[in-house]
Structure 1
Amino acid sequence: MNYFLNALYAEGLKIRKSKVVWIIMAAFTIAPLMAGFFMFVLKSPELAKNAGLLGAKAQIAGEASWPSYLSLLAQIISVGGILIFGFVTSWIFGREYADKTAKDLLALPYSRSIIVTAKFLIAMLTNFLLSIYIVCLGIFIGLMLGLPQLSHEIFTQGLYVLLVVTILTILLSSPVAFFACYSGGYLAPLGFVILTLVLSQIIAAAGFGDFFPWSIPAIYSGIAREAGAIGWNSFLIILATGLIGFLSTLYWWLFTDQHEG
């Protein structure tokens, strides 16, 4: 247990002292700011009329209300989270190979499974905290805008959808860790993230999004239908995908010879 806590602390320290995560957080900040701006445009008919193309794009977000705004935040996390959460996971696992420190981890006096589990927990925690930051910032912007239709029921339901979407999207970042370890760097996992992001849009548009893991969070967020309108089979598909990503990464660390590269 002490070995695991030590590994967890070390991984957390790497995150806290890294500038990469802070840069990612700053980049992710653009999302709720843009969502808030869309709501601001929709609240001002004259501005929306004069905005032209921008006003037309804002119409996609629906009306200027809390239900539409919370749904928009969920959609942002479901799509943007695939990229952001995948990048974080890629960095946490891939940096050991890029910085040539993987062999140093293997020299530590405890099981490789402890290292992998600690990295996954830190990746999940970091991604979850990023999501909380985006949601809190988004709620603050919504309150500043004075959006209508705010009630306890709407707010609770919106937060529930946001929580589920966040968890589903975080689970989908686990295969990224395997590609980071398998390729020994950042490029392959980032390529995998971009590929899944593109395929998620194409497959969802084709009507098979319920069966493609990376399309499911966006569908649940209400991007194409009513929020939450997916079956249990879709949840099981994401759970299986996350588990496969974790086990394949663990297998790579346990049974594959590690080279400095």
Structure 2
Amino acid sequence: MGTVETLAPEAGQPKSLLARFTGVFYAPGETFNDIVRSPDFLAPLVTMTVLSIALTESMLARIGMARMIRQTLEQSGQAEKMSAEQMQQAIDRGAQIGGIIAHVAGVLGVPIFILLVAAVGLLFTNAFFGAEVRFKTSLAVASYANLISALGIVMGMAMIFLSDPEHFNAQVPVPTNAAYFLDPRDVSKVLFAVAKSFDIFTFWLMILLGIGYSEATGRKVKVLTMFLCFFGIWMVIFLGRVCIALLS
């Protein structure tokens, strides 16, 4: 009696790039498990770098660095201490330097951020918890977790082209934290710094990093533990912002 053999799908076959890109948003645990088994970081890194460049160039073209410098000076209260000539000189200098910084940040900002997050992730998983996570895996986790920033960039692009350039606030361009709804001239610098720090995408990123690095350790380290590690970094940055606001 003859038998018919059926071939099962290859075990452990990695998800497609599209499945990984979308899975980070709706099934992060399963997706990061797949990413850890077959890590790659180039596609999400390039994608976010291109989006960062697009956002920067759109902001410079539509809003203009000179306008953003003027708004910053007005919001900080420094404009009131300057004559019209001094104000214009400050705007011209700031626009020239700021334009260069913006172009460089648009290109290098994402790669540098990913490298820093990956290095911190390795420090936590390997040095603190004794795991053996490879740097490539750490880069992959950081790169895919950062894809949630794409939503913020899309929102930012919409705000740039749909809102009045005169009322665009480059410090908080999208309504993802309470600072968006505050006028820096009407509230204390400390309150503004606190409101700006509690950002939806920042906490979403930390949650994804917690999930991703927990998977990278084979779930030997819990998601909450990894989240709290990154939350500790956030707390240091948060306290630094508050101290700067108090001293300024």
- TM-score, scaled relative to structure 2: 0.30
Give the greater-gyration-radius structure (CA): 2
Bigger share in helix:
1
